[in-house]
């Protein structure tokens, strides 16, 4: 194994080089790789108190590899791990076809996420608002700091759970490691300070507060879109079968008369079908956008 010209001399330097080597990889993969390597390096340091950090890093590089080699191993492992939405080779001319959305599993995952987001959004919003209120209320008491730390830990756990939901339904690579306590070498007060100054803690809280308006919007779009499109198709087919149409449109008698005829009902069924495909496209777009939001606010790098 070739040794680098200037091997990293500290844990921070090693992790910085690993982050650079993983540039362009999914944020969830980078987060997992950094957390795994930091845990391993911290354990090596703890088990070898008689060696300097530079000596331990040199041994790690010689035994396990340089940051670039570790990054390559993580990229290789990522290609062998099954994902909820494996990539399929689709011809370029068919990939973005209007009707091909029906064969994309991400569409239905996003649609299910939209329908679930109202419940999760209400829960997250209530949890964060209640937790922050109690934290401020307990701030003047002796239990204030322990309660705040417990609340922050719960936010990290919920952000991890949300990340697993996002990956399962939206296909966005999120961290697969359960949250761990941040490393702090200077005692309890350093851990407290790090817990309160961790940007991702506050961005996770912001995400959970944001989930209420987003969840309401997603749920309304999903339910109304499906109800209208499927209702139009089902009503048209029912009217064609029974020969009775109960459609009434005031001030547009000619349109109403057309919709009481077989050609008009067939046209209406076609319009409803097109509306259904539009809803699927909207769901897929919502899934892509929300995946970017979750990746940006929940992933710790």
Q: Residue 6 falls within a domain, yes or no? A: no
Whether 282 and 191 share a structural domain: yes
Whether 51 and 95 share a structural domain: no
pLDDT tens figures, 88-124: 555 545 555 778 888 888 999 999 999 999 999 999 9
Supply the pLDDT for residue 226: 94
- CA 131, CA 135: separation in Å to the nearest integer? 6
Whole-model pTM?
0.83
Q: Residue 59 falls within a domain, yes or no? A: yes
Whether 49 and 194 share a structural domain: no
What integer is the mean pLDDT of 273-295? 94
Q: Residue 1 falls within a domain, yes or no? A: no
CB count within 10 Å of CB 26 equals 17
Supply the pLDDT for residue 81: 65
Longest Cα pair distance anywhere in the chain, in angstroms? 92
**Which of 55, 80, 105 finishes a domain?**
80
What DSSP state is assigned to residue 96?
A: T
**Residue 241's pLDDT band (cuts 50, 70, 90):** confident
CB count within 10 Å of CB 12 equals 12
pLDDT tens figures, 174-232: 998 876 665 545 556 777 777 778 888 899 999 999 999 999 999 999 999 999 999 88
Assigned token pair, 26: 């999914």
Assigned token pair, 267: 């046209």
pLDDT tens figures, 33-73: 888 888 888 888 888 888 888 888 888 888 888 888 898 88
Q: What is the domain extent for residue 291? A: 89-301
């Amino acid at each position: 194994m070739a040794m680098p010209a200037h091997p990293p001399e500290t844990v921070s330097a090693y992790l910085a080089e690993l982050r650079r080597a993983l540039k362009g990889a999914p944020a969830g993969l980078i987060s997992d790789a950094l957390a795994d390597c930091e845990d391993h390096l911290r354990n090596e340091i703890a088990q070898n108190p008689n060696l300097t950090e530079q000596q331990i890093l040199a041994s790690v590089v010689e035994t396990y590899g340089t940051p670039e080699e570790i990054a390559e191993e993580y990229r290789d492992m990522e290609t062998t791990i099954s994902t909820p939405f494996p990539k399929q080779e689709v011809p370029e001319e068919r990939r973005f076809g209007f009707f091909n959305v029906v064969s994309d599993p991400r569409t239905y995952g996003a649609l299910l996420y939209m329908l679930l987001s109202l419940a999760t959004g209400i829960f997250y919003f209530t949890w964060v608002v209640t937790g922050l209120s109690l934290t401020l209320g307990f701030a003047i008491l002796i239990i204030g700091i322990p309660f705040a730390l417990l609340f922050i830990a719960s936010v990290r756990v919920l952000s991890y759970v949300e990340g697993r939901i996002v990956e399962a339904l939206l296909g966005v690579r999120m961290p697969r490691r359960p949250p761990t306590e941040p490393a702090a070498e200077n005692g309890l007060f350093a851990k407290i300070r790090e817990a309160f100054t961790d940007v991702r803690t506050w961005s996770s809280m912001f995400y959970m507060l944001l989930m209420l308006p987003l969840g309401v919007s997603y749920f309304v779009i999903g339910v109304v879109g499906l109800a209208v499109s499927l209702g139009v198709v089902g009503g048209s087919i029912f009217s064609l079968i029974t020969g009775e149409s109960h459609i009434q449109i005031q001030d547009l008698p000619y349109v109403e008369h057309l919709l009481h005829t077989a050609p008009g009902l067939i046209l209406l069924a076609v319009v409803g079908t097109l509306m259904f495909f539009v809803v699927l496209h909207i769901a897929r777009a919502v899934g892509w956008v929300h995946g970017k939001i979750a990746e940006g606010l929940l992933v710790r790098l």
